[in-house]
Amino acid sequence: MQQQLNDTAPAAVRLQGRQASCSAPIVSRRGGLQRQLHVSVCCAAAGSDLIVRIKDDMKAAMKAKDAPRLDAIRFLSAAIKQREIELREKGQEEEVELQLLLSYLPAQLSREELAGIVAAAVAEAGASSVKQMGQVMKLVTAKTAGAADGKMVSELVKAALTQK
């Protein structure tokens, strides 16, 4: 670590130019003083080179018997591990929530199914130019009822009308 963290260290620490902040601070009591180290390092920022550097600095501080430096490096290491665990748990929770929410949505139409609906709507509306895209979109939207992505519908309708 290039700068030593002491009792007056700022609440945020910059790691190789990356801002860091953690939802739960790491608190240390050493010699009756209380220090907080807020660190948030996303998994990408806490790359293997940073982890190796922290471990090497920790070993060097142990060998030099530099207690304040060792203490600060241990805080940093603990904060990184804590943050990685939080992110992993959050990712798992979000995946479960996504699957639950998707179970309530209607099944999405494939591009081929949607192209068939668009062709039928173009024929039904008698559309022959892009100027009539709104009429076709209205018909397709009514037929798909949320089972198709609006952007894909728009692209297919536009493509169908420009070919005419």
DSSP one-letter code for 131 = G
In one-letter notation, the amino acid at residue 57 is D
Residue ranges of alpha helices (H) inside the chain are 48-64, 67-104, 111-125, 133-144, 150-162
pLDDT (average), residues 12-26: 42
Distance of CA 134 to the CA centre of its chain: 36
pLDDT for the residue numbered 67? 94
Residues with Cβ < 8 Å from 118, sequence gap 6 or more?
A: 136, 140, 153, 156, 157, 160
| Fold of domain 111-162 | Arc Repressor Mutant, subunit A (1.10.10)
Among the ranges given (37-41, 99-103, 107-111, 114-118), the one the predictor scored with the smallest mean pLDDT:
37-41
pLDDT (average), residues 34-42: 48
pTM: 0.44
pLDDT band, very low/low/confident/very high, at 116 (cuts 50, 70, 90): very high
Residue pair 28/76 in contact (Cβ under 8 Å)? The answer is: no
pLDDT for the residue numbered 1? 40
Retrieve residue 13's tokens: 């620490």
Express each pLDDT in 54-75 by its tens digit: 999 999 999 999 999 999 999 9
Flag whether pLDDT at 38 surpasses 60.
Answer: no
Express each pLDDT in 1-15 by its tens digit: 444 444 333 333 433
CA atoms within 13 A on the CB side of 147: 14
pLDDT (average), residues 43-62: 82
Flag whether pLDDT at 125 surpasses 60.
Answer: yes
- Looking at the chain, the domain(s) classified CATH 1.10.10.410 span 111-162
In one-letter notation, the amino acid at residue 162 is T
pLDDT for the residue numbered 32? 46
